[in-house]
Chain A
């Protein structure tokens, strides 16, 4: 197998020398979206984007409903797209950066679609072992049935995860039986499986309010709520009521603490022991009301986790709001989670003609957690809390865009007066110039953290802890059918430097899209690791972490017909500057069928 990529690369290069020909839709959009490689889009967004790509026939209500759920768009983008009049074109300059790319993506889609009501996706990948994921959706009128089954590498069950839902539309709203998720407020009580990560490109997401009930389409094995939920719209607002009983991986330890493991991997003995060993019972009530330009909401939930004879019970409450005063948006959420711990966020966003500003203050108590809490924080562990201030500014002058952000944070520990908690900051700046043929993106990001210590002198910034990442990316459109990307990444830590270069060529010939990808790197330590986007099948958004001296070559081929799309990728990694070692091969096959 290891000889195959080189031959494929030669074949692809040959094909690029032939007649150039239309571009690429979703893959192109995902490769250009303003997003850090460590922070891919949540799979809810990717699934919605695929669905939009599949059913798009203009900006109708169904499409708008899916667009509203896309977390990378700004609220103002959605307002603009909702008010879109077919007689006029959408003013790109009024959209956010990602909004502009998204509309460009919509414009590449063929609006003439065959009527289809069955969508079946079969996904097989292999690296050291086989991974399988099958998903399907069947539409009957306004109702939808969906399923997902999955097996991760080395898992001993052929169908390790099985997830299903039935979504029924009624005159007053909708009812979902099976797996669902609720995204309410700003993530303190109920959110999707991935928190909004701070960073460049997070401006729009951090200020987005949750969109309420969603059927569960994600392959994340530990985030769904299984039960029944109803969402009702009436003159009192939007009311959501749910009852769930969900098996989760976890345990109640000997001290009575609840531990939940979200990896979804069931290979080792301990992972198999804790698999679905917790029985989680939940009931949730959410109310949200929109008054002209203001949104107010409240959630109460009751949760119980049972493992054999042990059980833990918790109540969660949250109040959230978003209010608009002229060009200023004020928003926030305050919540009480498990063990009466508290968390709150307060944000302000303003949109001036040339620039936008976002500031968010967060206060999370130690051990704060709730049923599906996933706020945007520096530390993912729930044992310590944190305080932090995030600020971001976006400038836009013609084709030139500047983004700056800064986040200052400090851990909150339980009473221990002689301990100085960890603290730190991260900041980043990005310049982007978008031209017709050439788009350039330059990015610098800094991060510095102290470590927890008991000494008075310990809480100083050790300059050796400073991590600086530099990134320069150029996207070049040779023609509608041939595009390329060149990226240089450098990480500097403790005076040592890791760097790498990536080149990607994307060509369309008739119904076939070819992508060739090459990466070479010189990274000598894990600390100076760098990240690139990996070569992905449609619907994947994986990045590759590079911490070696070596090379990676990859090829992807996608064939699209009216009723199916067949995609194949293969890549080889040589963790050596020479090619005279056995490479690690990764491959994947995806078949998407529409009936």
Chain B
């Protein structure tokens, strides 16, 4: 008996930082850290210094579904550049992405970013396949407190492998509210073109520069998330947890950051 079905699974996992996961795992990179710049390249401009970030986690608490991502960001006068790698999977099946990121500003009020991503899938005993994708994001500053962010991933509709599976194309638009670096909240709508759209929102509170907490939620699929961060000098460590309503399992992530002093 032979059954044939199409698989829509490659590169579905959003490579976010732990704190972004805690905020509801939006594809918009709210605080600019971590490998979230692959999907939201304009977010790299949020960092004023040269910075390194790394994230590790286990998807659905399954130890063999390990995620890890690493990124370096460099500000160059009006522009920012970034380079990162991301991997997900185990010895039998592995997805990896290499990204080159560029971002800049137009007249202070409009920021843009573009990432060129090289995706590779490796399946043991089957070999590997690769493809390239371009992702675009932008932000409009509406006031000192409000920012609008839009993004479209894989605008060139990349396909991978001999089965020509399409990589996810996500369109998202959202508003971010920020008050004195203490309160941050966002509301966004995400639409993977293959699935139903989802509404996501999150809230973070940072009472001191050394500590902050975040919560988030979303629909389609229903998720609830939370997390915290601790900061020491130029180091920062984040933890995030997310639960999926339909699956009844959790995913955890830990992210670490280091910013080179005086590199502005």
- Give the distance to chain A from B64, nearest Cβ to Cβ, in Å: 32
A126 at the interface (CB under 8 A from B): yes
Known contacts A159-B155, A566-B142, A595-B106; is-contact A122 B148 (Cβ 8 Å): yes
The answer to whether A158 and B152 touch across the interface, beta carbons within 8 angstroms, is: yes
Q: Which residue of B lies closest to A138 (CB)?
A: B106
Please encode chain B, from 100 to 114, with 1 for each CB lying within 8 Å of some chain A CB and 0 for all others.
000000110110000
B65 at the interface (CB under 8 A from A): no
- Give the distance to chain B from A273, nearest Cβ to Cβ, in Å: 16
B193 at the interface (CB under 8 A from A): yes
Interface window among B50-58, B72-80, B117-125, B165-173? B165-173
Complex-state Cα separation, A589 to B188, whole angstroms = 12
Please encode chain B, from 140 to 166, with 1 for each CB lying within 8 Å of some chain A CB and 0 for all others.
101100001010111101000000001
A157 at the interface (CB under 8 A from B): yes
Known contacts A156-B157, A156-B166, A158-B153; is-contact A124 B173 (Cβ 8 Å): yes
Known contacts A126-B197, A130-B171, A589-B173; is-contact A120 B110 (Cβ 8 Å): yes
Complex-state Cα separation, A158 to B197, whole angstroms = 14
Mark out the residues of chain A between 352 and 379 whose CB falls within 8 Å of any chain B CB in the assembled complex: none
- Give the distance to chain B from A161, nearest Cβ to Cβ, in Å: 12
The answer to whether A132 and B166 touch across the interface, beta carbons within 8 angstroms, is: no
Q: Which residue of B lies closest to A126 (CB)?
A: B197
The answer to whether A563 and B157 touch across the interface, beta carbons within 8 angstroms, is: no
A137 at the interface (CB under 8 A from B): no
Q: Which residue of A lies closest to B196 (CB)?
A: A129
- Give the distance to chain A from B220, nearest Cβ to Cβ, in Å: 12
- Give the distance to chain A from B250, nearest Cβ to Cβ, in Å: 28
Known contacts A126-B197, A564-B140, A564-B142; is-contact A595 B155 (Cβ 8 Å): no
A118 at the interface (CB under 8 A from B): yes
Known contacts A159-B155, A595-B106, A595-B107; is-contact A120 B193 (Cβ 8 Å): no
B191 at the interface (CB under 8 A from A): yes
Please encode chain A, from 90 to 125, with 1 for each CB lying within 8 Å of some chain B CB and 0 for all others.
000000000000000000000000000010101010
Residues of B within 8 A of A134 (CB): 150
Known contacts A122-B173, A589-B173, A595-B106; is-contact A157 B157 (Cβ 8 Å): yes
B189 at the interface (CB under 8 A from A): yes
The answer to whether B193 and A593 touch across the interface, beta carbons within 8 angstroms, is: no
Interface size class of B (residues with CB under 8 A): 20 to 34
Residues of B within 8 A of A155 (CB): 193
Neighbour of B193 across the interface among A118, A156, A589, A591, CB < 8 A? A156
Known contacts A124-B189, A158-B155; is-contact A593 B171 (Cβ 8 Å): no
Q: Which residue of B lies closest to A559 (CB)?
A: B142
Q: Which residue of B lies closest to A155 (CB)?
A: B193
Please encode chain B, from 166 to 200, with 1 for each CB lying within 8 Å of some chain A CB and 0 for all others.
10011101000000000000000101010001000
Mark out the residues of chain B between 59 and 98 whose CB falls within 8 Å of any chain A CB in the assembled complex: none
The answer to whether A130 and B191 touch across the interface, beta carbons within 8 angstroms, is: yes
A197 at the interface (CB under 8 A from B): no
Complex-state Cα separation, A456 to B150, whole angstroms = 64
- Give the distance to chain A from B154, nearest Cβ to Cβ, in Å: 7
- Give the distance to chain A from B141, nearest Cβ to Cβ, in Å: 9
Known contacts A118-B107, A158-B169; is-contact A593 B154 (Cβ 8 Å): no
Chain A facing B: main interface SS:
strand
- Give the distance to chain B from A222, nearest Cβ to Cβ, in Å: 20
The answer to whether A122 and B150 touch across the interface, beta carbons within 8 angstroms, is: yes
Residues of A within 8 A of B106 (CB): 118, 595
Residues of B within 8 A of A591 (CB): 140, 142, 148
Complex-state Cα separation, A422 to B157, whole angstroms = 47
The answer to whether B109 and A595 touch across the interface, beta carbons within 8 angstroms, is: yes
Complex-state Cα separation, A563 to B107, whole angstroms = 12
A151 at the interface (CB under 8 A from B): yes
- Give the distance to chain B from A71, nearest Cβ to Cβ, in Å: 32
Complex-state Cα separation, A155 to B107, whole angstroms = 33
The answer to whether A593 and B110 touch across the interface, beta carbons within 8 angstroms, is: yes
The answer to whether B171 and A595 touch across the interface, beta carbons within 8 angstroms, is: no
Known contacts A118-B107, A130-B197, A564-B140; is-contact A159 B166 (Cβ 8 Å): no
Residues of B within 8 A of A120 (CB): 110, 140
Complex-state Cα separation, A132 to B155, whole angstroms = 13
Please encode chain A, from 5 to 43, with 1 for each CB lying within 8 Å of some chain B CB and 0 for all others.
000000000000000000000000000000000000000
Q: Which residue of A lies closest to B150 (CB)?
A: A122
Residues of A within 8 A of B191 (CB): 129-130
Residues of A within 8 A of B140 (CB): 120, 122, 564, 591, 593
Known contacts A158-B153, A564-B140; is-contact A118 B110 (Cβ 8 Å): yes
Q: Which residue of A lies closest to B219 (CB)?
A: A1
The answer to whether B110 and A158 touch across the interface, beta carbons within 8 angstroms, is: no
Neighbour of B109 across the interface among A129, A130, A156, A563, CB < 8 A? A563
Q: Which residue of B lies closest to A162 (CB)?
A: B155
Known contacts A120-B140, A122-B148; is-contact A593 B173 (Cβ 8 Å): no
Neighbour of B169 across the interface among A157, A563, A566, CB < 8 A? A157
Neighbour of A595 across the interface among B110, B153, B166, CB < 8 A? B110
Complex-state Cα separation, A595 to B193, whole angstroms = 31
Q: Which residue of A lies closest to B135 (CB)?
A: A158
Q: Which residue of A lies closest to B166 (CB)?
A: A156
- Give the distance to chain A from B229, nearest Cβ to Cβ, in Å: 30
Complex-state Cα separation, A563 to B110, whole angstroms = 11
Please encode chain A, from 146 to 160, with 1 for each CB lying within 8 Å of some chain B CB and 0 for all others.
000001000111110
Residues of B within 8 A of A118 (CB): 106-107, 110
Residues of B within 8 A of A132 (CB): 152, 171
- Give the distance to chain A from B138, nearest Cβ to Cβ, in Å: 8
Please encode chain A, from 53 to 92, with 1 for each CB lying within 8 Å of some chain B CB and 0 for all others.
0000000000000000000000000000000000000000
- Give the distance to chain B from A586, nearest Cβ to Cβ, in Å: 13
Complex-state Cα separation, A156 to B142, whole angstroms = 31
Residues of A within 8 A of B189 (CB): 124, 126, 130
Mark out the residues of chain A between 535 and 550 whose CB falls within 8 Å of any chain B CB in the assembled complex: none
Complex-state Cα separation, A595 to B105, whole angstroms = 12
Residues of A within 8 A of B150 (CB): 122, 134
Residues of A within 8 A of B173 (CB): 122, 124, 589
Complex-state Cα separation, A593 to B150, whole angstroms = 13
The answer to whether B109 and A593 touch across the interface, beta carbons within 8 angstroms, is: yes
- Give the distance to chain B from A353, nearest Cβ to Cβ, in Å: 52
Complex-state Cα separation, A132 to B170, whole angstroms = 12
Q: Which residue of A lies closest to B199 (CB)?
A: A1
Q: Which residue of B lies closest to A157 (CB)?
A: B157
Residues of B within 8 A of A595 (CB): 106-107, 109-110
- Give the distance to chain A from B110, nearest Cβ to Cβ, in Å: 6
Residues of B within 8 A of A157 (CB): 157, 169
- Give the distance to chain A from B6, nearest Cβ to Cβ, in Å: 13
Complex-state Cα separation, A199 to B197, whole angstroms = 41
Complex-state Cα separation, A151 to B136, whole angstroms = 15
Complex-state Cα separation, A595 to B139, whole angstroms = 13
Complex-state Cα separation, A378 to B110, whole angstroms = 47
Complex-state Cα separation, A124 to B109, whole angstroms = 20
- Give the distance to chain A from B134, nearest Cβ to Cβ, in Å: 10
Please encode chain B, from 28 to 66, with 1 for each CB lying within 8 Å of some chain A CB and 0 for all others.
000000000000000000000000000000000000000
**Minimum-distance CB pairs A-B, first 3:** A158-B169, A595-B107, A130-B191
| 24 A–B contacts, CB within 8 A, in A order | A118-B110, A120-B140, A122-B140, A122-B148, A122-B150, A124-B171, A126-B189, A130-B189, A151-B171, A155-B193, A156-B157, A156-B166, A156-B193, A158-B154, A158-B155, A158-B157, A158-B169, A159-B152, A564-B142, A566-B148, A591-B142, A591-B148, A593-B140, A595-B109
Further 7 A-B residue pairs, CB within 8 A, beyond A129-B191, A158-B155: A120-B110, A156-B166, A157-B169, A158-B171, A158-B193, A566-B142, A591-B142
